[in-house]
């Protein structure tokens, strides 16, 4: 399938403001991922050229980092904090519950493309642990019952 010219142009403009060289590869990937919500395979060549690395090296970097994806991540991102305080307060159980309810592993998107599940190191709301974040909004003192309600809202 041919690359979308508009996608290539937007990516070219984005990358103009980024550093060159292999040390910049992760930064380049983050820039593209933040713009589109994923790294479109059709722009991997542009990233490789800017980073002065091969295309396989770009794909390898994407594969090694669960936060990068070659496919759109879905309508909503559900982050579950996995920092020590949240885990001790039930965060581990929340993640296990979310995996069961959504039928995906962390850093995967549900089949209906509604929800991407991700673990996160700290959401900065430790006094209200355990925490989850959806679309930039942190929800503290989460339990499985409240998580189920949140997931149902996201599915609609």
Domain-by-domain residue ranges, the chain? 5-64, 76-155
Query: Is the confidence at residue 65, as pLDDT, over 60?
Result: yes
Q: What is the mean pLDDT of the chain?
A: 89
Note the pTM of the prediction, 2 decimals. Answer: 0.70
95-98: long-range contacts, CB 8 A cutoff, minimum separation 24: 95/119, 97/144, 97/147, 98/147, 98/151
DSSP one-letter string for 10-60: HHHHHHHTS--SGGGHHHHHHHHHHHHSS--GGGHHHHHHHHTS-HHHHHH
What is the C-alpha to C-alpha distance for residues 13 and 39, in angstroms, rounded to an integer?
A: 15
CATH class of 76-155: alpha beta
Q: What is the pLDDT of residues 74-121, one digit of tens each?
A: 889 899 999 999 999 999 999 999 999 999 999 889 999 999 999 888
């Amino acid at each position: 399938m041919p690359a979308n010219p508009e996608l290539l142009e937007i990516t070219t403009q984005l990358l103009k403001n980024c550093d060159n060289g292999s040390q910049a590869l992760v930064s380049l990937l983050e820039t593209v991922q933040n713009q589109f919500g994923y790294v479109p395979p059709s722009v991997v060549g542009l990233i490789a050229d800017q980073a002065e690395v091969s295309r396989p090296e770009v794909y390898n970097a994407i594969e090694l980092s669960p936060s990068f994806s070659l496919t759109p991540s879905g309508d909503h991102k559900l982050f579950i904090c996995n920092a020590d305080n949240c885990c001790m307060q039930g965060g581990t159980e929340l993640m296990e519950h979310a995996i069961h309810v959504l039928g995906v592993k962390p850093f995967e998107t549900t089949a209906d493309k509604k929800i991407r599940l991700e673990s996160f190191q700290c959401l900065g709301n430790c006094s209200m642990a355990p925490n989850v974040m959806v679309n930039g909004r942190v929800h503290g003192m989460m339990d499985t019952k409240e998580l189920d309600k949140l997931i149902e809202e996201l599915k609609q």
